[in-house]
Amino acid sequence: MRLTQYLRALNALDTQGVERTSSGVLAEAAGVNPAILRKDLSLLGSYGTRGVGYVVRELADHISRTLGLDQDWRVLIVGAGNLGRALSGYAGFRSRGFHVKAMLDSDPDLVGHRVGELVVRDAAELGAVVTEQQINIAVLAVPGAAAQPLVDQLADAGVKSILSFAPHVIRAPRGVEVRRVDLSTELQILAYHAVRNDLETGQGPLSGLGTEA
C-alpha cells in the first residue's frame, strides 16, 4: 500500500527535522515514481504548493487519519510462544497507535505467567477478553492448525481485523479482514531474486548456467 510507504518516508523526514519536502524528494524516499505520488496525494485532497512543496508533519497527519492510524487500536496476541512474546515487546507498535492489551495461550503452564506488562490468560477466555479489553485487532502467533478455529472464534467475538503469522491458508469469515505474514515465503522470494541476480551478473555459484531457458 503506497500510502504507508509515504507515511514511513514522511515520518523519517520528520525525525530528521525536515519541515517541508518536494514530491521528488518524497517519491525517492518512498521508492515510487513522482508522478504517481502526486496523483495519489491529489486524490487524498492534498496538493503541494508550487515552490513550497508539502508540509511534512501536516501531510503525515493527513495520511495517518486516512489510514485510521489516529484511532486507538487495541491488540490481542494469541499465542505466548517465541513469536507472541517477541511481538508483545515491540515498542514500535505503541508509537504507531497499536496497544497490546492482552495475550492468550492454551498451554496451562503459560497461563498466569507475566510477559512484560501482561499476564497470559487462558485461550478459553477469548470471548470475555475481547469484550473486556475492547479488542479490535488480533494477532495470531500459534501453530498453523490452531489458526482457523481461532479466526472463527475471534470473528464470533466481533474482531474484524486479524493478522496471522501461522503458515496455514485461512478462510476469512464475512466482514473480517485477515492478513497473513509469511516470512518463509518472503525469504524464498528474496533467494529467488538473489539467484536471478547472480545469473544475470555472471556471479555466484549458479552463474555458469546462464539465464537462457
Ligand X SMILES: NC(=O)c1ccc[n+]([C@@H]2O[C@H](COP(=O)([O-])OP(=O)(O)OC[C@H]3O[C@@H](n4cnc5c(N)ncnc54)[C@H](O)[C@@H]3O)[C@@H](O)[C@H]2O)c1
Does the protein bind ligand X through residue 120 (CB under 6 A)?
A: no
Place of cell 499476564: 119
Does the protein bind ligand X through residue 142 (CB under 6 A)?
A: yes
> Which is closer to ligand X, CB of 41 or CB of 150?
150
Does the protein bind ligand X through residue 82 (CB under 6 A)?
A: yes
Parallel, antiparallel or unpaired: strands 73-78 and 54-55: unpaired
Q: Which member of 24, 81, 112, 210 binds ligand X (CB under 6 A)?
A: 81
Q: Which member of 27, 48, 60, 84 binds ligand X (CB under 6 A)?
A: 84
Q: Which member of 183, 191, 206, 209 binds ligand X (CB under 6 A)?
A: 183
Does the protein bind ligand X through residue 181 (CB under 6 A)?
A: yes
> Which is closer to ligand X, CB of 106 or CB of 133?
106
Q: How far is the CB of 93 from ligand X (least distance, A)?
A: 16
- Torsion sign across C-alpha atoms 144, 147, 76, 10: positive
Q: What is the CA radius of gyration of the chain?
A: 22
Length of the chain: 213
Does the protein bind ligand X through residue 107 (CB under 6 A)?
A: yes
Contact 123, 157 (CB under 8 A): no
Cα separation, 68 vs 4, in Å, equals 11
Cα separation, 143 vs 171, in Å, equals 16
Cα separation, 194 vs 122, in Å, equals 43
Q: How far is the CB of 201 from ligand X (least distance, A)?
A: 29
- Tell me which residues touch ligand X (CB under 6 A): 78-84, 104-107, 110, 123, 141-144, 146, 150, 165-167, 181-183
